[in-house]
Amino acid sequence: MENLAFGLTYSVAGGLAAVGVGLVGAAAVSAVGRNPDALGTIRTMMILAMSFVDALGIIGLVVALIIKFMK
């Protein structure tokens, strides 16, 4: 049961964070396609937005690790 909780916590959080990062990346790529001059600004903003998204995924990972290792 604990292993199931670990796997589900990690995989749901990670999967949804992956969707979010994919959306951010797709938006950044299409923005660069429209306006290639703004590459530097868009890259910075993309990394910023991505780290906001993956913070949630990583918090999911931490919660999963707490389930697994703190008893």
33 vs 18: CA distance, rounded Å: 22
User: Between residues 19 and 47, which has the closer beta carbon with respect to another protein?
Assistant: 47
Q: How far is the CB of 23 from another protein (least distance, A)?
A: 14
Q: How far is the CB of 68 from another protein (least distance, A)?
A: 8
User: Tell me, what DSSP letter sits at residue 61?
Assistant: H
**Contacting residues toward another protein, per CB under 8 A:** 47-49, 51-52, 54-55, 58-59, 61-62, 65-66, 68-70
Q: How far is the CB of 65 from another protein (least distance, A)?
A: 6
Q: Which residues contact 9 (CB under 8 A, 6 or more apart)?
A: 60, 63, 64, 67
Q: Which residues contact 67 (CB under 8 A, 6 or more apart)?
A: 2, 5, 6, 9
User: Between residues 23 and 59, which has the closer beta carbon with respect to another protein?
Assistant: 59
